[in-house]
Structure 1
Amino acid sequence: MKNTTNLLLFFLLITCSAFAQDFRFGKVSKEEVSQKKCPIDSSANAAYLYKSRRSYINYTENKGFHLITEIFERIKIYDADGFDHATQIISLYKSDSRSDSESYSGLKAYTYNLVGGKLEEIKLKNDGIFEEEVSKYRDHVKITMPNISVGSVIDIKYRVESPFLSNVDDFVLQTDIPIMNLEASFKSPEYFNYKINARGYLPISPNLETGNEKITFASKAQYGNSYGAYSGTGTTSRSDVDFRTNKYSFNLKDIPALRDEPYVGNIDNYRSTVKFELSYTQFPQSTVTNYSTTWEDVVKTIYKNDSFGSELNKSGYYDDHIDQLLESATNDLEKIALIFGYVRNHMSWNGYYGKLTDNGVKRAYKERSGNVAEINLMLTSMMRYAGLESYPVLVSTRSNGIPLFPTIDGYNYVIASVKSDNGFVLLDATSKFSTPNVLPTRTLNWEGRVIRNDGSSTTVNLYPSIKAKNTVSAMVTLDEQGSINGSIRTVFSNHNALKYREKYIGSEQESFIQSKENTYGGMEIEEFNVANDLDFSKPVMETYSFTKESQAEVIGDKIYFSPLFFMRDLENPFKLEKREFPIDFGYPSGSKYMINVVIPEGYEVESIPEPVAFSLPDNLGTFKFKITEGANSSVQLMMESDINSSLIPANYYKSIKTFFQEMVDKENEKVVLKKV
C-alpha cells in the first residue's frame, strides 16, 4: 500500500511539473483550459499563465543594428468580464520617413476550448487582424481572437523589428490581471550602454550575463576595364568583428494584479516596470556620444535639437503683430495676459503631444495650427520678444508617467513659463480655456523642468497652489409628496471653471442640459443660463430652476429628507482597507453649499442633524456641516469641504478614507418633519 501511494505521488508530481513548465507555443493542456479560478487571485477574470518577452539588438549588413522584440503570451479567460483580454494590440512607432518605422512579422495565435471533453484549437485568421493608423507617429495592429468563451486559453506570438535603438519599450512586469509565470530579457552589444530604471513595488533583481558574439562583414572588390567601367568580376573578402554582449533577464512567478483605484492619477506610475534607456554609445575608434546620463545631458540634448532651441530664436514671423498688440500694455502682467490670449486664440492645437516641433513655429503660425511644442515654444519666444524672462518647461503628462530618473523619453510635452517676483507663471496655450497658472489637467504631473537660455535647468512644481472652488446657492421648496422645486446658482473658479468650460463651450446647450438632467435622474431643468463662459478673467456662473420628484420619504405623518437632496454623495470613493499609492486629487479644491429649504405648510421640524466640524491631519482638509431652523418654516444648510493639497502621501490613506466616509454619512443624515 505504501509503495502504491508513493508511486501515485510520483506520477502526480510529474504531471503537475509538466503542467506548470511546458510553455511552448501551441502546447496548451486540458488542465489549463479546465482551470476554473486563478490560483493566486480567485477574483481575477483573466490571467497570464505565461508571459514572455525577448528583446535584443541584432546586426544585418543591409540594415545595420536593429532592435528585435519577440513576444509570446498565454492568457486564460475565467469569466465573461475577461473577454476584453482576448483583444490584443501591437503598437508600432513610425517617423516621418517611412523607411524608419517599426514592423511586425510572424504573428500566430490560437484559441483553445474544451468541446465534448476534447481540446479544440481555433486559428486566428486574417479577418481577426485589423491594422489602423492612430496618428502619423503610431500604428496599431488590433488582434481579436476567435471563438472566445468562459474557460478559453489563448496562445499568441509575434515579432517586432525597430530601427529606434534609443526607444526600447518599457518591460511591464505587472498588469491589471495576475501573471503566473514571466520571463523577459534584454541583450545589447557593448557599443550601446543602457541605464536600467525600475519602478513599482515588486522586488526586481535582474540576472546579468555577459557573452561574446561576432559580426561578419563582406566586401567585394571589382576590376575595371580600360574605359573605367567595371567588368562585374572580382573577389569577395570577409572580416569578423568580435564584441561583448550584456544580457539582463527577469524570471518572476505569481505576480499579483495591479488594479486602478480612485484618485491615482496614472496607475502606471506605480506599476512594476523596467526601463532600458540609452545612456551613451561608443563604437570602435570613436568618441562617446552621451544621450541621457544626467539631467544636464538630457536638457542639452533636447535644447540643442534644431526642433527645439533654434525655434525659440525665431521672431520675424510675428513681431509686427506683437508690437501692435502690446501698444496698450502698461505692465508685465498685462503683457503676459495679452500675448497668452493672442496665441491661445490665434493657434489651434492639432492634438499631437511632443517636446519637439514637427513643421516649425513659422509654418505653424502661418497655418494657425501646430503641435504642443510649436504652440508653446512660439509662446515662449513671443514673451521673450516682449522683454519678459520666459523659459520653456519640459513636462511629462499624467498619461506618460513621472520621470524619476534622467530621461529624454520621459518628457513628452512642453509648456511656457515667465519668471515673476512670486516664482514662475505657467502657461499652456494649447487649451482654449486655460489661463495663467491654470494648466490643463493632463499637465498636472509632479514637476516640470525649466530650461534656461544657457541649457541649464531647474524644476518647478506643476501642481497649482490656488484652490479650485464650487460655490452652490439653492432655494428649494419641499411639498407633502416629497417632490421639490427651486433654483440653483453655482459658481466655478480656477480649475473647476476650466473643466466646466471644456464641457460646456462648443456643445449644444439642449444636449448639455439633457445630460445634466440624466445625471440627476430625470430632473427637469428650466431657465438655464451660463455667465462668464467666455470671460476667462471671471469665474463661470451657472443658474437654473428645477423640479424633481421623490426627494423625501413620506412615512405616516412624518417626512424625512437630506437638505442636499440629489446633490449629496451616496458612497465613499475609497473602499480598500489599505493603499500603497498616493492620493492624487490633481489640484486643491473646495466646495461650499448654502441651501434654504422651505418645508410644507402644516409641518414643523421635529429633529435636525447635529452640527460637526472635523479635519484631516496636518491641515490637509476640513469639513464643516451645520443645519439651522430658519424663519418662515424653513431649514438652512451650510456645508463646506476643502482638500488643501494636490497630492497626499499613502500613509494618510486611513485618515482620508475615514474623512470621506464621515462626510458621506453626514450628507445623508435626515431632517425629520412632523405634521402639526
Structure 2
Amino acid sequence: MALLVLYLIFVTIYCLKLLYMKRFVCSWLLLAIVNLCAAQTTLPEFGVITPEERSLTECPFDKEADAVVIFDEASADHNDQYNLIVTRRIRIKILKQKGTKYGDIAIHYRHKDDIQYINDIEAYTCNYTNNGTIPDIKKVPTSAIYRQKINEQWSVVKIPMPDVQPGSIIEYKYVSTAKNYNYLDDWYFQRELPVMHSHFSLAVMPNYEFAYRVFKSEQLPIVVKQEKGSGRIYFEMNNIAGLRDEPFMDAEKDYLQHVEFQLSGYQGVFGGTTKYMTTWAEVTREVMGHSSFGLQLNKNIPVDDAWMNKVKAMPVPFEKMAAIYNFVYKNINWNGFGGIGAVDGVKEAWEKKKGSSGDINLLLINLLKEAGLEVYPLLVSERGHGKVNPEYPFIDQFNKVMAYVLIGDNKYVLDAAGPYTPPFMIPFPVINTKAFVVNRKKGGIITLTETEKKDQNTVSIHARIDESGAMTGQALILSNEYARLTRVRAWERDRDNFREKYYTVYQAGLKMDSLVMHNLDNDSMPLEQQFGFSIPPTVSGDYKLINLNLFSGIAKNPFISDIRFTNIDYGCLQSHTVVEAIELPESLKVESLPRNIRMIMPDTSITLTRILNVKDNLLQVKYTIATTRSVFTADEYDYVKDFYKKMAGIMNEQVVLKKKE
C-alpha cells in the first residue's frame, strides 16, 4: 500500500504522458516499474581507500579526463523544526597534472537572512609513498578552512586541500542546514569530470508531497528506490562521462544527467491535500498573489508628473515604450542580483536608483502600465540557465522576469537589467527559448524566436601587395543587429582582447593601427570599425603566398571534437560578407588562383560562396557565409562539423604569386 501511495503522489500529478527526447528522457513510469526495487550501493567509510581506487590511473569510460569523481553521495532529511539538512561526501582521484586544480574546493551557500549554513566540514588528501604502498593522509585543519562573502546573498566555504598531485585522492564531507525544503537543490549526477558513482536520497517531510523529474541519456541506467516505511526516495547513477565545454552549446544544465525537485502539495490540519502549482494556471495564481511579484505590479511609483505626462502624450505607442525602457535602463542600476521576483521592492529600487533584476523589470512594467501600454510579466529562462519544459509547471525552470509588451500585432521583450538591447530586438540570451506570460486571460507558454534580426557583418578591404609579398591595407567593418551588440559589449569589456578576438587572430604577424569606432552610442546604426593593417610576407621558395581569409568570422573550424553532447545554438541567424580589392605589383604574376565555388548543406541551412577575379593587376574577392537556421541538434553534429572543416579549408586557400620572367 505504501508503495502504491508513493507512486500516486509522485507520478499521477505530472505523468500524464511519457516525455521522450532524442538524447535525454524524463520518464517516470519507466523508472517506477523497472528500477524501483534495485539495490543501492554501499560505499567505503570516510578515509578508507580501496585497492581499486589506489591503483586507478585513468578513467576507463572517459580516458581524456584529468581527474575522476570516485563517488558523490548526499542525503537530505529534516529536524524537528523542519529545517532541510543535507549531508554530503565527495571523493576525487587526481589523474593528471592539469587535474590538480580540482583540489581547490569551494562550497557555495545562501547566507542572507541565515537561510543556509555549512558546518561539520572534514577533508583530507591521501598520497602513497614507498612505491605506492603506504598511505600518507594529510587532514585539512579547521583553521585552514575559511569563508568568503561573494555578494549580499551568497557566500562560499574554501577548503585548501594540501599536497595535491597526480595520484592524489582527495575527500571531503560537510553538512548543509537550510531554513526549509524550499531550498532543496536539484541533484546532478554528472559534471565536467567523469563520475564513477553518484547517489542522492531524499526524506519527504510528513504531510508534504514532492514531485521530481529525471533527465538522463537513454543509454545510461538509473536506480530509483523507495525505502519502505521511511518515505525516502533513493536515486543512483554510475559511470557517467564528463560533459566539457563545447562551442555554441546550449545550457550545460540541459544535458547533465540530473533530477529536479519541486514541492507539489501539502495536507492541511483538518485533512485534505492542497496542490501547489500543479498547472500553469496555478503558477499564475500563486505568483500574482505573492508579495515579491504580483503585489509589486500595482505600486504608485512617484515619477515626475511632467515627464510621465509627456510620455503619455506621445502619439506612437512604440515611442512611449522606448522612452520608458531607456529611462529605466539609464537611471536604475542593476546590483547584480537575479531572480524572478523583487528583492527589496520596486519602490525601494526607485528611491535608491538600484535594485535586482526582478526589482528593475517589475518597476519597468509598472511604468509601462501607467503609460497605458498593454504589458505583462514574462518569466524567462536564459539559455545559460536551461530549457523550459511546458509539460511541467515548475517555477524553478525560470531565472528572470522581463516585460512583455503588445502593440498591435507586434510583440516586444524588454530587459532593463541586462546588457543593453534596443527595444526593437529580443534580448540575445532568451532567443530560441520558451517563456511564460503571467496573466490569467492571455497568459501561457510562448516561444521566443528571431528570424529577421541577424548576426550580420560586412567587411570591405582595400590592400596592396609589395614585391616581397607583404600586404598593407585599410579595412572597414560594419556590424549590424546582434553582431553590433556583441562587438560593442566586447569593446567596452576589454579593448585589447577585442582586437585579438576579431582582427589579429587571422594571420600570424598581422598588425593593426589607427582603429576608429563609429556609432558606439547609436543603436539604430551599424557599428563601424575602421583600421589599417599590415601582414608580413609568407614565402615558399620562389612563391609568395597571400592569405585571403581576413576578418570573415571563420578564422578556423570551431568544431574539432569527435563527440558532441549538446545542440549547436548560434542564437540567431548568421550573415557574413567579405569584399576585398587587392592591388598586385607589376613584378609578380598569379601562379595559382583558388577557383570560384559555392558550397551548401543538403537542407540549405548553411551556404558558402567564394568568387575571385583578376584584372589589370587587381585581385577582387568576395566571400559570403549565411545560415537559414540558428539551431542544429547534436545528432546533426557530424554534418555541421564536416561542412565547417571543408569551409575553413576553402577559405584558407591561398593565392600563389611568382616573379615574372
Query: What TM bracket, shorter-length normalisation?
Result: 0.7 to 0.9
* Residue of structure 1 equivalent to 2:35: none
Q: Take 2:539 and 2:216, find their aligned partners in 1: how far apart are those partners? A: 53
Q: Take 1:332 and 1:562, find their aligned partners in 2: how far apart are those partners? A: 50
Contact 2:149 2:155 in 1 (8 A): yes
TM-score normalized by the length of structure 1: 0.85
Contact 2:382 2:433 in 1 (8 A): no
Per-residue CA deviations over 1:387-427 (Å, capped at 9, x if unaligned) read: 22111110112332123232112211011121134441111
Offset of residue 579 of structure 1 = 3.1
Alignment of 1:20-419 (within 5 A): 23-29=44-50, 31-56=52-77, 58-60=78-80, 64-95=81-112, 97-98=113-114, 101-117=115-131, 118-126=134-142, 128-201=144-217, 203-212=220-229, 245-285=230-270, 288-318=273-303, 320=305, 322-326=307-311, 329-404=314-389, 405-419=392-406
* Residue of structure 2 equivalent to 1:449: 436
1:189 is paired with a residue of what secondary structure?
coil
* Residue of structure 2 equivalent to 1:8: none
What is the letter of the counterpart of residue 87 of structure 1?
D
Contact 1:292 1:407 in 2 (8 A): yes
Offset of residue 435 of structure 1 = 0.6
* Residue of structure 2 equivalent to 1:629: 614
Number of equivalenced pairs:
614
Distance 1:273 1:393, change over 3 A: same
What is the letter of the counterpart of residue 33 of structure 1?
R
Q: Take 2:301 and 2:83, find their aligned partners in 1: how far apart are those partners? A: 42
Q: Which moved more, 1:326-335 or 1:453-462?
A: 453-462
Offset of residue 184 of structure 1 = 2.1
Offset of residue 111 of structure 1 = 0.6
Contact 2:284 2:440 in 1 (8 A): no
Contact 1:562 1:670 in 2 (8 A): yes
Which consecutive residues of structure 2, in runs of 5 or more, have no partner in the other structure? Answer: 1-40
Q: Take 1:22 and 1:179, find their aligned partners in 2: how far apart are those partners? A: 14
Contact 2:545 2:654 in 1 (8 A): yes
* Residue of structure 1 equivalent to 2:491: 504
Q: Take 1:644 and 1:124, find their aligned partners in 2: how far apart are those partners? A: 55
Q: Take 2:222 and 2:539, find their aligned partners in 1: how far apart are those partners? A: 64
What is the letter of the counterpart of residue 400 of structure 2?
Y
* Residue of structure 1 equivalent to 2:19: none
Q: Take 1:547 and 1:158, find their aligned partners in 2: how far apart are those partners? A: 58
Q: Take 2:184 and 2:549, find their aligned partners in 1: how far apart are those partners? A: 52
Contact 1:315 1:385 in 2 (8 A): no
* Residue of structure 2 equivalent to 1:554: 539
2:580 is paired with a residue of what secondary structure?
strand
Alignment of 1:576-591 (within 5 A): 576-591=561-576
What is the letter of the counterpart of residue 188 of structure 1?
V
Per-residue CA deviations over 1:289-337 (Å, capped at 9, x if unaligned) read: 4433222222322222122112222244126154344266321222222
2:147 is paired with a residue of what secondary structure?
strand
* Residue of structure 2 equivalent to 1:532: 519
2:557 is paired with a residue of what secondary structure?
coil
Contact 2:76 2:86 in 1 (8 A): yes
1:624 is paired with a residue of what secondary structure?
strand
Offset of residue 286 of structure 1 = 5.1
Offset of residue 82 of structure 1 = 0.9
Distance 1:529 1:655, change over 3 A: same
Per-residue CA deviations over 1:117-141 (Å, capped at 9, x if unaligned) read: 4210100123542311122221111
* Residue of structure 2 equivalent to 1:643: 627
Per-residue CA deviations over 1:370-401 (Å, capped at 9, x if unaligned) read: 21112212222222222221111101123321
Q: Take 2:150 and 2:432, find their aligned partners in 1: how far apart are those partners? A: 25
Offset of residue 464 of structure 1 = 5.8
1:135 is paired with a residue of what secondary structure?
coil
Per-residue CA deviations over 1:267-290 (Å, capped at 9, x if unaligned) read: 221110001111112244255444
Q: Take 1:343 and 1:135, find their aligned partners in 2: how far apart are those partners? A: 23
Q: Take 1:68 and 1:45, find their aligned partners in 2: how far apart are those partners? A: 32
* Residue of structure 1 equivalent to 2:532: 545
* Residue of structure 2 equivalent to 1:238: none
What is the letter of the counterpart of residue 528 of structure 1?
L
Q: Take 1:253 and 1:105, find their aligned partners in 2: how far apart are those partners? A: 28
TM-score normalized by the length of structure 2: 0.87
What is the letter of the counterpart of residue 117 of structure 2?
S
Distance 1:207 1:199, change over 3 A: closer
Q: Take 2:493 and 2:56, find their aligned partners in 1: how far apart are those partners? A: 51
What is the letter of the counterpart of residue 112 of structure 1?
C
Contact 2:82 2:205 in 1 (8 A): no
* Residue of structure 2 equivalent to 1:490: 477
Q: Take 2:500 and 2:565, find their aligned partners in 1: how far apart are those partners? A: 39
Alignment of 1:415-430 (within 5 A): 415-430=402-417
What is the letter of the counterpart of residue 650 of structure 1?
A
Q: Take 2:445 and 2:548, find their aligned partners in 1: how far apart are those partners? A: 50
Q: Take 1:327 and 1:105, find their aligned partners in 2: how far apart are those partners? A: 56
Q: Take 2:513 and 2:250, find their aligned partners in 1: how far apart are those partners? A: 36
Which consecutive residues of structure 1, in runs of 5 or more, have no partner in the other structure? Answer: 1-19, 213-244
1:409 is paired with a residue of what secondary structure?
helix
Offset of residue 524 of structure 1 = 3.5
What is the letter of the counterpart of residue 547 of structure 1?
S
Contact 1:300 1:456 in 2 (8 A): no
Q: Take 1:610 and 1:316, find their aligned partners in 2: how far apart are those partners? A: 65
Contact 1:128 1:146 in 2 (8 A): no
Offset of residue 578 of structure 1 = 4.5
1:426 is paired with a residue of what secondary structure?
strand
